[in-house]
Amino acid sequence: MVTVPDQPYRSGFACLVGRPNAGKTTLTNALVGTKVGIVSNRPQTTRHAIRGVVSRPRGQLVLVDTPGLHKPRSLLGRRLNDVVRDTLADVDVVVFCVPADQPVGQGDRFIARQLRELRTPVVVVVTKTDAASRQQVAAQLLAAGALVEAAEVVPVSAVAGDQVELLEDLLVGLLPEGPPLYPEEQTTDSDVDRQLAELVREAALEKVRQEVPHSLAVTIEETARRPDPKRPGGELVEVHALLHCERPSQKPMLLGRGGEVIRAIGTEARQGMEALLGARVHLDLHVTVLGEWQDDPKKLNRLGY
């Protein structure tokens, strides 16, 4: 660890909050410099608190990407909101993400009311500035800044990389003094099985429509490593995953005609898995119906929610 002369080393946690599709995960990935969370334009893409670790000479910033705060319509929705509230209670900085390309709405005001009850410093980030005009960004900076008493209000495009380093510096400066919390080379604390399951879900979210994305969950049932028969000295990882939907009518949507959808999901997910694991992957996918799991406590526990 190299420290910056005459500056204390800082470390701590910053929680990213915002309504669904506010750009939290894309911003987290941009700050970390690698993919630690899946991205989709579907609401409720993020279902766990995902930690991404940013290690720099002057400090270590642990970003906690949370599910979008929303009006829940199921037990799953209530549990996701609880994840956000539990995370907010135990961080050093809050990053309130408000997208530049959408007007400030009731969801943003609802979150702002929650944040006003905290003593934690809040940095308001106007995200997705690449998708808005300069006039829109300027107006949104004023509107977002009026929502809460903010330590800073920063416009950022995670996609274009605009002002990402500036935001990183601001956040590190708001952290308490302290030693690193994670090894310098570590970028996330998510276990491998969860990352594999999320890669399958990310691929599926892009391949299915209608009500299936909300009703989809993925579990990794088994992984096995063995020598790769096609690559001397290489390794082959066999991954067996289950895609859970809620209704029998949804299963054919995930399978597709002649299995074309499930094959496309497998192809895309396998590419991400091979990049993650650094080995060739054989991915075995099956679809199962787990009736009304979003409102069943036992089924939610089984699925890891």
Q: Give the model's pLDDT for residue 66.
A: 82
% of the chain exceeding 70 in pLDDT: 95
* Per-position DSSP letters for 82-107, written without gaps between them: HHHHHHHTT-SEEEEEEETTS---HH
Q: In which band, very low, low, confident or very high, does the pLDDT at 150 lie, cut at 50, 70 and 90?
A: very high
Mean pLDDT, range 54-64, rounded to an integer: 94
Is the pLDDT at 39 greater than 80? The verdict is no
* Residue whose C-alpha is closest to residue 13's, from 181, 191, 184: 181
Report how far residue 39's alpha carbon sits from residue 96's, in angstroms, rounded to the nearest whole number: 18
Is the pLDDT at 2 greater than 70? The verdict is no
Report how far residue 88's alpha carbon sits from residue 49's, in angstroms, rounded to the nearest whole number: 11
Q: Give the model's pLDDT for residue 43.
A: 59
Q: In which band, very low, low, confident or very high, does the pLDDT at 75 lie, cut at 50, 70 and 90?
A: very high
Q: Give the model's pLDDT for residue 73.
A: 81
Mean pLDDT, range 49-71, rounded to an integer: 88
* 159-205 residue pLDDT tens: 999 999 999 999 999 999 999 999 999 998 888 999 999 999 989 98
Q: Give the model's pLDDT for residue 149.
A: 93
- The per-residue pLDDT of the chain, averaged, comes to 90
Q: Which domains does the chain have, with CATH numbers?
A: 10-173 (3.40.50.300), 192-303 (3.30.300.20)
Is the pLDDT at 70 greater than 80? The verdict is no
Q: Taking a C-beta distance cutoff of 8 angstroms, is the pair 203, 265 a contact?
A: yes
Report how far residue 305's alpha carbon sits from residue 300's, in angstroms, rounded to the nearest whole number: 5
* 212-266 residue pLDDT tens: 767 899 999 999 999 998 888 889 999 999 999 999 999 999 999 999 999 999 9
Q: Taking a C-beta distance cutoff of 8 angstroms, is the pair 201, 216 a contact?
A: yes
Report how far residue 181's alpha carbon sits from residue 95's, in angstroms, rounded to the nearest whole number: 20
Q: Give the model's pLDDT for residue 211.
A: 62
* 101-143 residue pLDDT tens: 999 999 999 999 989 988 999 999 999 999 999 999 999 999 9
Q: Give the model's pLDDT for residue 5.
A: 56
Q: Give the model's pLDDT for residue 168.
A: 96
